[in-house]
Amino acid sequence: MAEIVIRTGKSESIMPVLDSAIRNQLKLLKTSINRTKSRISSFEQKYSMSTEQFIQKIREGMDDDNLEFVEWLGETKILKRLEEEYKELEGLRICL
């Protein structure tokens, strides 16, 4: 586990600021996750397949020159990154 040290003369006043910043970032990440999931869901409905099926077909050689397929793949990568960031930030603990 990584440890970050912040030095300040007034630790009691910085705690609410840090807590608020973390909560705000979590909200932003959650909004982005939901928006990305919605985009992925639109692709799944349009092409009548799950993202897992889509990725498998790409691996099996399905033509991925379609711009929407590129976008779909991009959205799955973005979702993974956003969820990882959310999980890391959600697990953050502030200790005095």
3-state secondary structure (DSSP) of residue 5: coil
Residue 56 belongs to a domain: yes
In the prediction, which pLDDT does 5 show?
Answer: 76
The pair of three-digit structure tokens given for residue 83, joined into one six-digit string: 């969820």
Count: domains in the chain: 1
Query: What parts of the chain have a pLDDT lower than 50?
Result: none
Whether 69 and 59 have beta carbons less than 8 Å apart is answered as: no
Residue 41 belongs to a domain: yes
Q: Note the maximum CA span of the chain.
A: 60
In the prediction, which pLDDT does 1 show?
Answer: 63
Residue 52 belongs to a domain: yes
Global pTM value? 0.84
In the prediction, which pLDDT does 65 show?
Answer: 79
Within a 13 Å sphere around the CA of 84, how many CA atoms are in the beta-carbon half?
6
